Amino acid sequence: MSELSYKAHKFFIPETLLSRLMDDEDLMKEVLDACLPDLNDNVKLFSQQLEDGLYKEATRTIHTIKGSAQNSDLKALSLLSLEIEDALYSGLVDKARSLRPDLDEVVGNSIQAVERYFAERS
């Protein structure tokens, strides 16, 4: 998978999420309210695990981040998490570490994209 793959995608794709939820915007807000709050905490946990050499635990945590991103249609975060997860599964710890700074940026931009979406509707 190309390192640039996640950079070419939107942070949040509300149309896709709405489509999966039968265009129920209230349900979409519920899904996002369930998935988004833990992202920053999980990123901090992942970073600490990676720093401490707890690669099995870090792989589990990045998998959780990926799942939350997929459930929320945070496409760039989903792809970046997959890339980091694949690197860890392949023993490419240096690659996972090199992508780590992007994780903060993509999580922040993804959350901002969701907040912008709802701000435009209020």
Q: What is the pLDDT of residue 1?
A: 44
How far apart (Å, rounded) are the C-alpha atoms in residues 85 and 37? 21
CA neighbor of 109 nearest in space, from 39, 16, 27: 39
* Confidence band for 4, pLDDT divided at 50, 70 and 90: low
| CATH classification (class only), 5-121 | mainly alpha
Residue-wise pLDDT tens digits, 67-122 = 999 999 999 999 999 999 999 999 999 999 999 999 999 999 999 999 999 999 87
Take residue 65 and report the two structure tokens written for it: 């981040």
Q: What is the pLDDT of residue 46?
A: 98
Residues 6+ apart with CB under 8 A from 20: 73
Take residue 56 and report the two structure tokens written for it: 């099995």
Q: What is the maximum span of the chain, computed from C-alpha positions, in angstroms?
A: 46
Where in the chain are the domains?
5-121
Q: What is the pLDDT of residue 3?
A: 47
Residue-wise pLDDT tens digits, 21-68 = 999 999 999 999 988 989 999 999 999 999 999 999 999 999 999 999
How far apart (Å, rounded) are the C-alpha atoms in residues 35 and 16? 16
* Confidence band for 12, pLDDT divided at 50, 70 and 90: very high
Q: What is the pLDDT of residue 7?
A: 78
105 half-sphere exposure, CB direction, 13 A CA radius? 7
